[in-house]
Amino acid sequence: MKSYDFAYYLHLMKHILVVTNTLSQALQRNDQDIVNAVGMVNATKQQLQTFRLEGFDSLVKDVASFCDKNEIEMVDMDAEYIDPKYRRRKTNITNRHFYEVENFNTVLDMQIQEIGNRFNEVTTELLMYMSALSPNDNFSAFDVSKILRLAEMYPHDFNYEERDYLMNELDIYINNIRGDKRFANVKDISNLATMMHVKTDLRNRMSDEYLTDACICYIEKEFFAKVAIEDAMNRFQNMKTRREQL
């Protein structure tokens, strides 16, 4: 722990975790608004990219200050890098090249790529289209073209005729919902969905767990269609003792 390498990697990972922590915490919140989530993803990627381009010198200064306070031997960035495994072999690169190019840039590229993989163009596009359903500010983000594009991404749920009807239905929907006082205080899409489709008068006594299970069965209906009825009956029968056999 009293080595320059340890201090260097400690400060590098600390900075990356600080940058990504806000996004990580936000995405774990149940009430996270989609619009804010998309913006936060893009902002985090941009911050990491800026740090990759401009942050190495400031990182080295922080590490130098830390080493000075804790009596850790410094590394001369202009000196030739010596590979600890092959000390007698020439590397022909400086310490700066090793720490900046082979470590700093590599680690930042991995982080940026990871966020890009998790929030690729298709995923980000999907979230952006979903944001058109946001009820914030009296549904100010409502955009028929975005919602129609969202429907096109689910061809098994919306055929051509249904998407054609959807345009007129959306105009009726937004006019009705903006004039309905029950939706005046709805702040996010999850609450909007709860009020409109999920917890209807027939389902308002459902527990959250039971309701979640019901939603999963609907969302994954193509998967459950492959399950044999006999298997479902046997699973239900074996869950607990019942008066009669199914």
Q: Is the pLDDT of residue 28 over 80?
A: no
pLDDT score for 209: 65
Of residues 246 and 53, more confidence is placed in 53
pLDDT in tens, 185-200: 887 777 777 777 644 5
Residue with tokens 């985090």: 44
Instruction: Please answer whether residues 135 and 192 qualify as being in contact, where contact means their C-beta atoms are separated by less than 8 angstroms.
Output: yes
Categorize the per-residue pLDDT at 103 as very low, low, confident or very high, splitting at 50, 70 and 90.
very high
Instruction: Please answer whether residues 183 and 195 qualify as being in contact, where contact means their C-beta atoms are separated by less than 8 angstroms.
Output: yes
Coil vs helix vs strand at 105: helix
Residue with tokens 């003792």: 241
Smallest Cα–Cα separation from 107: which of 10, 7, 16? 16
Distance between CA 154 and CA 67 in Å, rounded?
Answer: 56
Coil vs helix vs strand at 94: strand
Smallest Cα–Cα separation from 34: which of 137, 161, 146, 126? 126
Residues near 61 by beta carbon (within 8 Å), at least 6 away in sequence: none
